[in-house]
């Protein structure tokens, strides 16, 4: 068994990753850290986890000595560099997978959105996991690259688990009740992330809603040549035909149906009258394909396992 450490395991994403790793045939938990839950059994906090691992809170300087084969950083943005430095200083060769935005713009790290980037995986030991909205946006837009005319507009709505556990307006259930909260309407980090990764400008307008998990992206694509619906569907179905975690459907997907699922749904394809404006809807569980499930795909790849090992495959609706 390969041993995986999770730094920041109290969080929403860390919790999902604990569940996935505990059920994985080739991985086991080396350690899970939380300052707040130190000493407590993981089984008291994670439904369905029956192991005997307890939360610990080692000094970051001591992490390289703990001997995990891979370390997952599930901390808020801005915390990763100091930890990476400890591994560099110790000459420790563990795989490091960072869930935050800290290394998504660093070309020396592999950017792991496997459906779009796995051909670029060449044994890198440093892996940056994409943002949740950024995953959905890239999968929704990628099949039309090359026939886009101008920026793509993306209207996003996320459940409040996307805002993490550190208290803020965006995860305050009182402020969110009966509400839709717009934020970062230009310049969100995922706008820059998607524009860079696709090599095409996108304009992203995020909102947070009262539900807990799951996000919707409605993408508005202006096209350089007219398309009919059969051509659009052929592009999407062809591109994702062999991808178990990307499903293409005719109807617009609903966020209420994606919570707890490991894949992304794409659908609701609608063309304007001249065939040169396309609207596409994507839904995704931000904590799963938007974070933990994608991290597991990347860890599987890093250790040469089947990319989908340990990922539950739901039946298509
Ligand atoms: N939530 C989501 O939908 C997604 C999140 N991500 C990214 O994944 C990472 C984790 O997200 P999420 O689980 O939501 O975050 P949470 O806020 O839920 O959890 C953060 C974790 O980090 C620890 N932590 C919090 N503040 C600090 C601090 N100042 N210094 C050190 N440790 C701290 C917490 O544990 P403790 O305080 O007990 O030590 C906790 O374990 C983030 O980088 C996020 O951007 C990526 C995609 C989707
Ligand atoms: C609702 C909400 O606040 N969502 C987060 C996105 C979560 C995520 O994927 O953020 P990272 O890029 O930090 O990993 C946000 O907009 O920043």
Q: How far is the CA of 153 from the centre of ligand 2 (A)?
A: 18
Give the pLDDT of residue 316: 65
**Which pLDDT belongs to residue 317?**
57
pLDDT band at 221 (very low <50, low <70, confident <90, very high): very high
Pocket of ligand 2 contains residue 159 by CB under 6 Å: no
Q: State the average pLDDT over residues 279-295.
A: 98
List the chain domain ranges.
2-102, 132-285
The pLDDT of residue 297 is above 90: yes
Distance CA 128, CA 169 (A): 27
Average pLDDT of span 209-234: 98
For the Cβ of 108 lying below 6 angstroms from any atom of ligand 1, the answer is no
Share of the chain above pLDDT 70, in %: 99
Read off the tokens for 75.
Answer: 């901390």
Q: Residues 9, 18, 75, 132: which is the catalytic one?
A: 132
User: Are both 2-102 and 132-285 of the same fold?
Assistant: no
* 139 Cβ contact partners less than 8 Å away, ≥ 6 residues apart: 113, 115, 116, 240, 246, 264, 266, 282
Give yes or no for residue 252 having a pLDDT over 70.
Answer: yes
Write down the pTM of the prediction: 0.97
Whether residue 23 is predicted with pLDDT greater than 90 in this model: the reply is yes
Q: What is the topology classification, in CATH, of domain 2-102?
A: Rossmann fold (3.40.50)
Q: Does the Cβ of 132 fall within 6 Å of ligand 2?
A: yes
Q: How far is the CA of 115 from the centre of ligand 2 (A)?
A: 21
Give the chain's radius of gyration (CA, Å).
Answer: 19
Token pair in block for residue 155: 């209207």
CB of 263 shorter than 6 A to ligand 1:
no
Annotated active-site residue 154? The verdict is: no
Per DSSP, the three-state class of 305 is coil
Nearest CA to ligand 1 atom 4: 162
157 close to ligand 2 (CB < 6 Angstrom): no
Q: What is the DSSP letter of 210?
A: S
Task: Name the fold adopted by 132-285.
Answer: Dihydrodipicolinate Reductase; domain 2 (3.30.360)
| Helices (H), ranges, the chain | 12-22, 80-90, 114-117, 132-141, 173-176, 189-198, 229-240, 293-302
């Amino acid at each position: 068994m390969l041993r995986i450490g999770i730094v920041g395991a109290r969080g929403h994403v860390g919790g999902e990753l604990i569940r996935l790793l505990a059920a994985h045939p080739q991985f086991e938990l080396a350690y899970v850290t939380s300052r707040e839950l130190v000493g407590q059994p993981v089984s008291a906090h994670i439904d369905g986890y029956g192991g005997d691992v307890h939360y610990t809170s080692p000094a970051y300087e001591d992490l390289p000595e703990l001997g995990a084969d891979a370390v997952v950083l599930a901390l808020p943005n801005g915390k990763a560099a100091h930890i990476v430095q400890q591994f560099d200083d110790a000459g420790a060769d563990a795989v490091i997978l960072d869930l935050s935005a800290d290394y998504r713009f660093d070309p020396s790290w592999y950017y792991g959105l496997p459906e779009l980037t796995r051909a670029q995986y060449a044994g890198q030991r440093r892996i940056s996991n994409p943002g949740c909205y950024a995953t959905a946006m890239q999968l929704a837009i990628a099949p039309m690259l090359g026939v886009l005319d101008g920026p793509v507009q993306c209207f996003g709505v996320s459940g409040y688990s996307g805002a993490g556990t550190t208290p803020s307006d965006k995860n305050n259930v009182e402020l969110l009740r009966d509400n839709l909260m717009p934020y970062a309407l230009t310049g969100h980090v995922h706008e820059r992330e998607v524009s860079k990764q696709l090599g095409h400008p996108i304009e992203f307008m995020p909102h947070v809603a009262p539900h807990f998990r799951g996000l919707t992206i409605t993408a508005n694509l202006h096209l350089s040549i007219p398309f009919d619906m059969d051509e659009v569907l052929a592009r999407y179905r062809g591109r994702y035909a062999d991808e178990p975690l990307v499903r293409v459907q005719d109807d617009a997907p609903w966020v209420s149906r994606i919570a707890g699922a490991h894949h992304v749904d794409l659908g609701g394809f609608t063309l304007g009258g001249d065939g040169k404006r396309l609207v596409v809807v994507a839904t995704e569980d931000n904590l799963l394909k938007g974070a933990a499930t994608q991290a597991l795909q990347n860890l599987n790849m890093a250790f040469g396992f089947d990319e989908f090992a340990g990922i539950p495959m739901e039946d298509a609706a």
